[in-house]
Amino acid sequence: MTQTDTAAEVRTSANGEAFEAETVVKSNEEVNGEYRLLILDAPQRILNCRPGQFFHLLCPVTTAHQPYLRRPMSIYGFYPERGELHFLYKVTGEGTRALAELRPGDTLNVLGPLGHGYTIQDDWQNLLLVARGVGLATLAPLAQEARRLGRKLTAICSARSPEVLMSVDLFREMGAEVITVTDAEGTSGMEDIRATIEARIAAGEVDALYTCGSNRMLKLLQDIGAKHGIPGEIALEQQMACGLGMCQCCVRSFRRDNRIVHERVCREGPVFDMQEAMGW
């Protein structure tokens, strides 16, 4: 029997500071049928972000939509020099529908930056990420960081069809090599992705793996990582209330030192060690 326990160690946020701040919407355009890009004019103090961190958004209450709790969104881009904060989101329910109604000039209250983002250790020269759907939002800032640190990055971008592939240009601009795979072309199956990754590993071109969200991808990358001894990180999602670590509603289970531990996605995460994460 494994023992259930909460984390022994209390971590504080990356920079120990988060802000509740008013921002102004610059634009909020559709990217394709399902996704929108929200660009906010944000105060400098909230733009000291790390890739993989998120903000907790107070979605507007409109006549049609009355969200109550905040909604967590990964930072898709942060540009202190332009005073901009970007989110890429999929319209799914009450909160994101309300977000979609925001027009340029409207204000949006945001809380952040929150959580622990991705790490790039000094000896991780060749990075490989696998992203699909809104996962691209979470992983995009990693490309920026990889370029800043002069690391080589390969991005496998997956989507239903070539038309709805997103962020390919963004990754290329960041100097990443982009491999696109789609359901429509029959190239996005787990075994195809495995073959692609293992070929690169054979060529000695992978020091660390990164992904987010999907259970299937977690299983695949855990398996590849364990087999070849390659470390990795995954960003996870869980429903949140406070986003700060106070309410304990966002816990997930992790395997650590032969025990099951519970950690808060908003605080200890959202980015976790790939091998410690557990499927759901």
Ligand X SMILES: Cc1cc2nc3c(=O)[nH]c(=O)nc-3n(C[C@H](O)[C@H](O)[C@H](O)COP(=O)(O)OP(=O)(O)OC[C@H]3O[C@@H](n4cnc5c(N)ncnc54)[C@H](O)[C@@H]3O)c2cc1C
Q: Which residues bind ligand X (CB under 6 A)?
A: 54, 67, 69, 71-74, 88-90, 92-96, 134, 137-138, 237-240, 265, 270
Which residue minimizes CB distance to ligand X? 93
Q: How far is the CB of 18 from ligand X (least distance, A)?
A: 14
Q: How far is the CB of 9 from another protein (least distance, A)?
A: 10
Closest CA to 139 of 204, 214, 83: 214
Q: Which of ligand FES, another protein, ligand X, none lies near 71, with the C-beta cut-off 5 to 8 A by kind?
A: ligand X
Q: CB nearer to ligand X: give 70 or 151.
A: 70
Taking residue 21's Cβ as centre, other Cβ atoms within 10 Å add up to 17
- Residue 248 is a binding residue for ligand FES (CB under 6 A): yes
Q: Which of ligand FES, another protein, ligand X, none lies near 117, with the C-beta cut-off 5 to 8 A by kind?
A: none
Site for ligand FES in 218-247 (CB under 6 A): 240-243, 245-247
227-246 as b/e: b if 16+ CB within 10 A? eeebebbbbbbeebebbbbe
Give ∠ CA 39-45-50 in degrees, rounded to 5. Answer: 70
Stretch touching ligand FES by CB under 6 A, among 13-21, 24-32, 84-92, 248-256? 248-256
Q: Which of another protein, ligand X, ligand FES, none lies near 4, with the C-beta cut-off 5 to 8 A by kind?
A: another protein
Enumerate binding residues for ligand FES (CB under 6 A): 240-243, 245-250, 264, 266-267
